Amino acid sequence: MNDKQKQRSFEDIPEALRDIRVSHKSSSVNPKLIMIGLGGLVIMILGISGIMILVSSLSQPNTVSVEPTPSPTPTPSPETVENILGHLPYEEADPNQLKGITNDGRIKLRTKAADGFLRMQRDARASGIILTPISGFRTVQEQEYLFFEIKRQRNQDTRKRAEVSAPPRYSEHHTGYAIDIGDGQVPATHLSENFEQTPAFRWLENNAAKYSFELSFPRNNPQGISYEPWHWRYVGDPDSLKTFYEAQQLQNKPSQEGNRVN
Which residue ranges make up the site for Zn ion (CB under 5 A)? Answer: 180, 231
In the complex, minimum distance from the CB of residue 107 to Zn ion, in angstroms, rounded to a whole number: 12
In the complex, minimum distance from the CB of residue 99 to Zn ion, in angstroms, rounded to a whole number: 18
Nearer to Zn ion, 87 or 231 (CB): 231
In the complex, minimum distance from the CB of residue 147 to Zn ion, in angstroms, rounded to a whole number: 13
Nearer to Zn ion, 151 or 231 (CB): 231
Contacts of 147 (CB under 8 A, 6+ apart): 161, 165, 166, 167, 168
Minimal CB distance to Zn ion: which residue? 231
Nearer to Zn ion, 58 or 175 (CB): 175
In the complex, minimum distance from the CB of residue 216 to Zn ion, in angstroms, rounded to a whole number: 7
Rounded alpha-carbon distances, angstroms, from residue 55 to 41, 45, 50:
21, 15, 9
Helix (H) or strand (E) holding 99: strand 98-100
In the complex, minimum distance from the CB of residue 122 to Zn ion, in angstroms, rounded to a whole number: 22
Nearer to Zn ion, 107 or 124 (CB): 107
Cross-strand pairs, 132:
182
Distance CA 210, CA 254 (A): 29
Q: Could you tell me the sign of the dihedral formed by the alpha carbons of 235, 236, 241, 243, in that order?
A: negative
Nearer to Zn ion, 10 or 162 (CB): 162
Rounded alpha-carbon distances, angstroms, from residue 158 to 147, 162, 167, 239:
9, 6, 9, 32
Are 110 and 99 within 8 A, CB to CB? yes
In the complex, minimum distance from the CB of residue 97 to Zn ion, in angstroms, rounded to a whole number: 19
Distance CA 162, CA 70 (A): 48
**Backbone φ and ψ of 133, nearest 5°:** -70, 130
Half-sphere exposure of 68 (CA within 13 A, CB side): 3
Distance CA 134, CA 190 (A): 8
Nearer to Zn ion, 129 or 225 (CB): 225
| Cβ neighbours around 90 below 10 Å, total | 22
In the complex, minimum distance from the CB of residue 158 to Zn ion, in angstroms, rounded to a whole number: 19
Nearer to Zn ion, 164 or 186 (CB): 164
